[in-house]
Structure 1
Amino acid sequence: MAACHVSKPVQVVSEKKGPKPNDYWAKKYSHPVYGFNEKLLFKGLKEVADAKKDPAKIGVDLNGTWEQEGPFNIGGRVDVITPLHRASDTIFAGTPNGGIFRTKNGGQTWEPVFDDYSYLAIGAIAVDPSNTQTIYAGTGDRNFGGGSYNGNGIYKSTDLGENWTHLGLQQVGIITSCIVHPNQPDLILVGALGDGFAMTTQRGVFRSTDGGSTWQNTLFVSDSSGVCEMIADPQNPDVIYAATFNRMNSFGNSFSVGPDSKIFKSTDAGATWSQLTTGLPSIPLSRVGITISETNSNKLYAVYVDQNYQVYDVFLSNDAGLSWTALNVTGPSSGLDPDLLGGFGWYFGRIHINPFDDNTIVLPGVEQYASTDGGQTWARNVPEWFTYEVHADKHALHYIDSTTMIIGTDGGMYKTTDAGQNWTVLGELPITQFYRITAKTFADGVYAGGSQDNGTSAGNAQTPWTRDFGGDGFTPNYIDANEGKVVFETQRGGIHWLSDNDGYIDISINNSLGAVPTNWDTPYLVQETGELVAGTNKLVVMSSPPFDQWTEVSADLTRIAMGATTSPSYHTITELNSNPFSSNDILVGTSDGLVWKGDFTNGNMTNITANLPEHYVSSVRYSKKVNGKLYVAMTGYYNNFSQALIYKSENGGQSWTDISSNLPVIGINSLITYIVAGNEVLFLGTDGGVYYSENDGQTWNIVGANFPVSAVNDLDIDEVNNKLIAGTYGRSMWSYNLDWYIGLNEAKLSELMVYPNPVTDKLWLDSPAEFVKIIGVDGRIVWSQTNYSEKQEIQLNSIPAGAYIIRTDNGACRFVKN
């Protein structure tokens, strides 16, 4: 298989880091009027997790195993790095959507250790210093960006992460810190930012003296602020420092600046707290980070983020926090990049100290800067982000020795052994956050997808993935291999054309139409007749790409045209699908719950929403088998969300029938159909995994038994290799072999004869075949041959006993090996 998928270098969209982490999921899950009920999301995730443990809920015909396709080498966001001790080869990594990974060999290989749970956002990991087999994990996304989740409390493992027990605090939202007292292992402190979507009183510092059986809230600042950082004095574990700030991210009520940017200190192991004020700012600011010297516990540094989400200043204390001095790091002679935090400092706002040299401090952001003279001067200690030698957006940092450190970024982990002069990737974690994928590239069995902060990449489990385009990645289209013709997409309709003849051309929608409303994940299609069709709040068409302009061909298709008064940025087209029976016909879905069909060439569209609920339309599909049959899937945890939102129409959209049946109450992100032996099978990508129905939605089952409870944003079919491909938001891309299922259904219609059946060691077919495949119940091909002669003996001695499908170009049949 080809390792290079596009004959062009990675395109860097801009010299500056792109837009701040977008509130894509907030707009998808919530409503500007009805809000967001996160409890419904978590209830649905738990329902999926529980169903995975029940064999009756997993399809008998599709109960095999998923294969991880990667990418492994592209990475995703890592927020937490926790080794057992300073130089331990056993390290835990926490991710915002992918759970916990563990290495026992210093990062050479990693394994997931939290996949049985429905809360895969990890904000803190702590080791019991008195017993390093005991690990604590706090859930929730500590940086709380656009694709973030609250958690459901804290978990404990007593066997190095093999098994976990829930210890409560499910009401505190996001856990950012956990400290276990080294001399009193039952004394545990948890720092909580709180519910990121709602103002609550369950936030601050929580203290347990009985190993997590009960908890007391010992520090509470306000109902919109919580703890973003908590550290212990390395020489006196009863001395604790906690930093707080205001952070809320509910639809229409998001803020990261407020009066609670503060630092508190406890001298009695978190039982009581006092605010530190002398020399520290008292004006409304954003996130606060704090760190302490390991050789001189009187010495602390703190960083404050300003109202523009850049560095406000770094402060130094030499008297254990009693007084602080501003270091004026933003001055012109300091060397610190004034745009270090990219204008979204609430996403960063941390500071680290070298434990072997307390004059060396590090400020992570889009880039990363270090000072070796106590904050007087600064220099970048990573390559510029757009080289991709070290990914942009740095979040976690751990020193192994004075010059060796590990950092966690939006693109995985990196390691330096020379204080930042050179960096290498530390292992490979399959934690890419895909928005859109395709199984149709220029190479057989090679898959591609666009992902959060990692552009568009392509590859599979056997070949390293290549980074084919930069920016935030969305829908890729590989059009013509002979001409190297590809279309890539970045956020909000940034559409880019590459070909051998034309080179690289930016054909973004706003180049032609200006600042029109577009979805973060703007849908577009490449029509068989050559046109590009996309959705803003209207249908837009480029008739002769790439040397053409976008033209608006329809009226506004959102509820703004019906008088909606909420923000126009919410009201966009989210989904498009072409009619396989009529090349000009198109289906359209919108973020505000409207569905249309019509002719994209003239923009004449008919509203076919009818009795559908007002929810975010996540998929629209024409049936591939029956002309006039349509499918619609929706998401959104609001407005009495009490069932999965999946519907079909058998009369062209005049009316819709609910086909959610036995699905869990979970959001649906993707819907595709596939014809198997004349039957149209439905596959759904949900917020908790993949489901299928072979009876048009009368019943649904889980696909496969080993898939994590992860959001599946997009699905596709590799028709050549009979694989279902799933792109997740946080656990990269997976494939499921459909050979067994296809063979089983073909066998129901087939006249193929094999004998004997059951068989012990030898099998014969009654007719010649161009190919023969024997497929196990897990979808794996256990034996194959081409150019089979009539009544040629097939030896089965090496095949275990069990049920199998035998497929040829003439049909299929089921047989049993004794």
Structure 2
Amino acid sequence: MIRPFFLRPLLVGGAALLLSAASQAQAPDPSLYQGMVWRNIGPFRGGRVAAVTGVIGQPGTFYMGMPLGGVWKTTSAGVTWYPIMDSVKEASSVGSIEVAPSDPNVIYVGMGDLITGGGINEGNGVYKSTDAGKTWIHLGLDETKQIPSILVDPHDPNLVMIAAQGNMHVKSDTRGLYRSTDGGKTWTKTLYIDDETGIQKIAWAPDNPKVMLATTVRHYSDPTAARAPRGAPGGGRQTGPSGTALYKSTDEGLTWKEVKGGGLPALSGRTSVAVAMGTNSQRMFIVGNFGLYRSDDGGQKWKQMDSEDRRVANGQGGYNCGVYVNPKDPDTVYVVNTCSYISHDGGKTFTGFKGAPGGDDPQQFWFDPTDGKRIFLGSDQGATISLDGGLNWSSWYNQPTGQVYHISTDNQYPFWVYATQQDSGCIATSSRGNLGAVTALDWSPHPGYEFGYIVADPLNPKISYAGGPGGGIVKVTNPSGQWINVSPNLDSKANLRKVGNQPLMFSPTNPHELFAGFQCLMSTTDGGMHWKALSPDLGFPKGYVPPKPEAKPTTPPAAKSGGNVDNDMDDIDEDEEPTEQFGPNGGGSIESFSPSSIDGRIIWVGTSNGLIKLTKDHGKTWEDVTIPKLENPTRADISCIDASHTDPGTAYVAIDYHSLADYKPYFYRTHDFGKTWTKIVAGLPDDQPSGSFARVIRADTKKANLLFAGTESSMYVSFNDGDTWQSLMLNLPNTSYRDIAINGNDLVVGTYGRSFWVLDDITPLRQIEASMKSEPAHLFAPGDAIRVRRNVNGDTPFPPEIPHAVNPPVGALIYYYLGSKPNGIVTLDVTDANGKPVRHMSSAEIPPSDDPLPPVPDFWIEKPEPMPTEVGTNRIHWDLRYDNPPSQSHSYEINANPGETPASPEGPLVLPGVYTLTLTVDGKQYVQKVTVKNDPRSPASMSHLRAQHDLQMKLYEGAKQSFDLYNQVAEMRKAVTNILDSEPSADLATATEDFESKLTAIGGTSGGGRRFGGFQRPGGPAPAPTFAGVSGSFVRELGTLDSGDMAPNQPVVSACETIADELKDTMARWQAFLAKDLPAFNAVLAKSNTKPIPAPKTVMAHRG
């Protein structure tokens, strides 16, 4: 709905005053939110792998390095992977990794990914572990920035060499080959070309490390130069020669000599080299865009191999490149292109080895020098291991290392997250799984391309739109999964241009309208059947007149084959606008845009060449509100622009200058529709080793002045409209934070290297005030809680090694702040609208259970913990259940989750409604309300839920009452046992045993009895009910009713009535026993001068 614009001036003025006042507010202390926890939700589909290695003699142990995801380890030959370098906070981009062959505990990691294009993925030198990855030591060489290759001497773990490419955007003498003989304490540069040329690949045969090869390449992208065509040698904006050369050392890297001639062609671009084992280092290979060449005499003469097979050459413009020789057979050679290929005749002919249509894009191989069948491959799809020479491979669908560009969420519950993933295409995953975890059942590939955006239809999440192959826009319809290109650029006459990450977004005020960014803003309201241009070409600065004026694009005709966008985008950098300064058509393209959620006529647009345009009338007219006095404005990528959700005149901008060697963050805000802009970077670091430049900024959807920002290395929050920023990393790893989405009360981030993360229920961030720091305690008001069950599985759970991400805590997340360590027990009580108790939680120590050990491994079992009482903000959750009913014994349901399987029975779920939370700290109470809402997917009406709940509460009370009565009998039985243990006379023993049998007939025994711990035996009359048996029956039916939302059917009601009658009958027998049998037995005891057995203090009446 479009809201009346005549109300805006008053709103703008008032909001601007509020924003101005808030921006001067003191920033709150981080301890007020340090108890919050980010949750990784996968999906478990691997991302591009930059480095691989294995451990000789340990068949299951391998390590992989990720471009911006750190180091991961497997000890199960790829069944499971886990990160081992998250303790390193400074950088996460790995370029190379090597385990010392003579000491499996020594690992060297070269930081900085070997990339092509305009990204950086920089590191900070070399790290070393001497305990197989448990801890890390920084060895310096910080300014080398990108280290794509490492070698460690096969016999000496302290002799290590690294290839340093150096800073892509800065001339530097830190490039070259470095050698250390003391384990990295000191380094000597033994090969250096110039301040623009780095070392790309170093190789030797492990059986003769004295002989080495090294290749060089120009690794400098002049920030002032025009952008090179895609696939230029070495990537990025190159000028001058490529600097590619081949060098050889015969003294293990001490001295070097260039290798040229002898049949070797002119070298250029990215290269790879290999030296074959078992040949005394005589057989050598080099591959590049010039083809594959082999030498059989140590590099004096060279011969081109299989010159007709272009798969053998570097066919992806430097995106990947590699040649490898099997350590057990010098005639078995491997090369990489879109797939990998194998030769069994020394490189003369090749056939496919591993890959699939579309290309796995293999990046790195590692071969065990002692076992040629043990192979480790890192590709764009993830890491995969073969132990049989390539016949079978481990899965890469178990690695949450996806590199995503842009994310969005839909409007269903639980919400799904959508993203484009580097090389793997599009992905979609649920934020919560029905089986107690986010499993493989909860995510799926999504039609579309690896770049750009995916957005779900706000009115129908089964329909979504994504950037498609060839620069199109595809419409996807589920559950069929059918997709079709509906892009306006199908018509070549539309003359549209776009950035690689083309933005798509639905209007927040008109859910029928989808926008797409080209050089103009396009709009469709009928699902892509027709498109309309809402703007002229917005890619020109104010006052600029292009040489050939371009008319405002018109609505393209119906879709047909064709178009004007290059289909091959595998080798472009995601951050690069694939045009010159103003593009081939004379201008930039829309990099980002943001329609206002307050007024649908307001749309902010940012372009790839630093322009910001604004319309207040849905595209009828446009203003140029570009930030004035920007340095190099035409090279400023407006990577994100975000409209405020509380003030129509306010917007926030993130600008990326990293292609100009400027890695500092640039964030701006305006409160006056772009008339003035304020830079907002206070508190943000600008010198992080992996880069500090801005990626994304988002305004909270509910709280004014609350902002979130992602940079190349970190996540941040501002509580005062950007005046100051604070870290929001919490438990996040160092990686690139590419996009942010807010769905209700949940904050979602997409990363380039660690997939998706969710910060569940950010309502505390919306409530935090600096003054809270001085309070003795504070209870935050929770966000609305959804009434869902932990796990609805009814059969065998997934084994723990099957990839899964944890679900959000079930129910209400409750945060409370403690200003100091409390003197006593902290409690939290939940009461209903009538003040009746529902749940009690406490910081008191939980006594160990006296239950027998469960017949399952301990890792399945949830271990109850007391409320935390740390100084600062603490987190607990209420699962929306009543206190657990007492029970003679506990079981563990088949719908288990590792570490999260609670003991049964559990208390009933509460009804939807408002509940009161009371936190008690040192005698003072703090009170908040929480609203419980029913699962939107529930088939039950409120009346059905109430009927079910009423019956559950009767069962719940019955279970408690029968348990208490059982305990009365048990206490009396203890007294009887004491008499029998005292060696009574024969007459007294007989009377006591008779009395005990009567007690047992009423109380029953724990863990067995009718309807408790077993089945009733067939044949004969049913035995009289007992309290233990009745208690078990109540618990059983309570569990039966708890599995789903449904009004109780008649059989269940009848079964519950039968159990209630049995309780009534057993209570009557108990009361008769107390009135007759107990006095009679006490009279017998009196004659024997034995202390009488007292009657229970209270005998409960049946509660119905």
What TM-score comes out, normalization by structure 1 length? 0.80
* Correspondence 1:83 to 2:54: yes
Q: How much has 1:293 moved relative to structure 2?
A: 2.2
| Bigger mean CA offset, 158-167 vs 548-557 | 548-557
Write out aligned runs for 1:503-652 (5 A).
503-512=482-491, 516-527=496-507, 528=510, 530-549=512-531, 551=533, 553-559=535-541, 562=544, 567-569=581-583, 571-599=588-616, 601-609=618-626, 611=628, 613=630, 614=633, 615-637=636-658, 644-652=665-673
3-state SS of 1:580 partner = coil
Distance 1:550 1:285, change over 3 A: farther
Q: Percent identity?
A: 26
Q: Which residue of 2 aligns with 1:48?
A: none
3-state SS of 1:541 partner = strand
Write out aligned runs for 1:188-587 (5 A).
188-251=160-223, 252=226, 255-256=232-233, 258=241, 260-306=243-289, 312-327=290-305, 329-331=306-308, 336=309, 338-339=310-311, 343-386=315-358, 392-400=360-368, 401-426=371-396, 428-440=398-410, 442-459=412-429, 460=431, 462-464=438-440, 465-479=443-457, 484-490=462-468, 493-499=471-477, 503-512=482-491, 516-527=496-507, 528=510, 530-549=512-531, 551=533, 553-559=535-541, 562=544, 567-569=581-583, 571-587=588-604
Q: How much has 1:272 moved relative to structure 2?
A: 1.0
Check whether the contact 2:420–2:454 (CA below 8 A) recurs between aligned residues: yes
Q: Which amino acid aligns with 2:676?
A: S
Q: Could you tell me how far apart the structure 2 residues matched to 1:642 and 1:226 are?
A: 21
3-state SS of 2:147 partner = strand
Q: Could you tell me how far apart the structure 2 residues matched to 1:561 and 1:510 are?
A: 27
Gaps of 5+ in 2: 1-26, 235-240, 432-436, 548-579, 687-691, 780-785, 789-810, 819-826, 843-864, 879-911, 923-1104
Distance 1:184 1:455, change over 3 A: closer
* Correspondence 1:92 to 2:63: yes
Distance 1:559 1:675, change over 3 A: closer
Q: Could you tell me how far apart the structure 2 residues matched to 1:469 and 1:547 are?
A: 19
* Correspondence 1:111 to 2:64: no
Cα deviation digits, residues 645-666 of structure 1 (max 9, x gap): 3333222222223333323333
Cα deviation digits, residues 52-89 of structure 1 (max 9, x gap): xxx998452254221111122x2111121111226542
Q: How much has 1:596 moved relative to structure 2?
A: 1.9
Q: How much has 1:437 moved relative to structure 2?
A: 0.9
Q: How much has 1:367 moved relative to structure 2?
A: 1.1
Larger CA Rg, structure 1 vs 2: 2
3-state SS of 1:425 partner = coil
3-state SS of 2:354 partner = coil
Q: CA RMSD in A?
A: 3.7
Higher RCO (C-alpha 8 Å, min separation 6): 1
3-state SS of 1:238 partner = strand
Q: How much has 1:758 moved relative to structure 2?
A: 11
Q: Could you tell me how far apart the structure 1 residues matched to 2:125 and 2:661 are?
A: 25
Q: Which amino acid aligns with 2:506?
A: V
* Correspondence 1:738 to 2:761: yes
Q: Which amino acid aligns with 2:278?
A: T
Write out aligned runs for 1:711-790 (5 A).
711-719=736-744, 722-738=745-761, 741=764, 773=812, 775-776=814-815, 789-790=834-835
| Bigger mean CA offset, 376-385 vs 351-360 | 376-385
Alignment partner for residue 121 of structure 2, among 133, 138, 149? 149
Q: Which amino acid aligns with 1:633?
A: A
3-state SS of 2:209 partner = coil
Check whether the contact 1:661–1:698 (CA below 8 A) recurs between aligned residues: yes
Q: Could you tell me how far apart the structure 2 residues matched to 1:129 and 1:439 are?
A: 47
Check whether the contact 1:554–1:604 (CA below 8 A) recurs between aligned residues: no
Q: Which amino acid aligns with 1:369?
A: Y
Distance 1:364 1:729, change over 3 A: same
Distance 1:611 1:148, change over 3 A: closer
3-state SS of 1:239 partner = strand
Q: Which amino acid aligns with 1:672?
A: R
Q: How much has 1:623 moved relative to structure 2?
A: 1.9
Q: Could you tell me how far apart the structure 1 residues matched to 2:201 and 2:485 are?
A: 42
3-state SS of 2:318 partner = helix
3-state SS of 1:741 partner = helix
3-state SS of 2:165 partner = strand
Q: How much has 1:231 moved relative to structure 2?
A: 1.6
Write out aligned runs for 1:36-185 (5 A).
58=30, 60-72=32-44, 74-85=45-56, 88-115=59-86, 116-185=88-157
Q: Could you tell me how far apart the structure 2 residues matched to 1:784 and 1:160 are?
A: 47
Check whether the contact 1:804–1:816 (CA below 8 A) recurs between aligned residues: no
3-state SS of 2:609 partner = coil
Q: Could you tell me how far apart the structure 2 residues matched to 1:130 and 1:701 are?
A: 45
What TM-score comes out, normalization by structure 2 length? 0.60
Q: Which amino acid aligns with 2:600?
A: S
Q: Which amino acid aligns with 2:750?
A: G
Q: How much has 1:593 moved relative to structure 2?
A: 2.5
Q: Which amino acid aligns with 1:283?
A: A
Check whether the contact 1:80–1:396 (CA below 8 A) recurs between aligned residues: yes
Cα deviation digits, residues 673-696 of structure 1 (max 9, x gap): 2255x6552111222222112232
Q: Could you tell me how far apart the structure 1 residues matched to 2:147 and 2:716 are?
A: 31
Q: How much has 1:362 moved relative to structure 2?
A: 0.8
Gaps of 5+ in 1: 1-54, 307-311, 750-756, 760-768
Q: Which amino acid aligns with 1:581?
A: I
Q: How much has 1:806 moved relative to structure 2?
A: 9.1
Check whether the contact 1:153–1:172 (CA below 8 A) recurs between aligned residues: yes
Check whether the contact 2:748–2:757 (CA below 8 A) recurs between aligned residues: yes
Distance 1:641 1:220, change over 3 A: closer
Q: Could you tell me how far apart the structure 2 residues matched to 1:575 and 1:140 are?
A: 28
* Correspondence 1:682 to 2:703: no
Check whether the contact 2:830–2:917 (CA below 8 A) recurs between aligned residues: no
Check whether the contact 2:830–2:916 (CA below 8 A) recurs between aligned residues: no
Distance 1:286 1:670, change over 3 A: closer
Alignment partner for residue 800 of structure 1, among 867, 870, 874? 867
Distance 1:550 1:341, change over 3 A: farther
Check whether the contact 1:522–1:536 (CA below 8 A) recurs between aligned residues: yes
Check whether the contact 2:77–2:385 (CA below 8 A) recurs between aligned residues: no
Q: Which residue of 2 aligns with 1:31?
A: none
Q: Which residue of 1 aligns with 2:954?
A: none
Distance 1:645 1:285, change over 3 A: closer
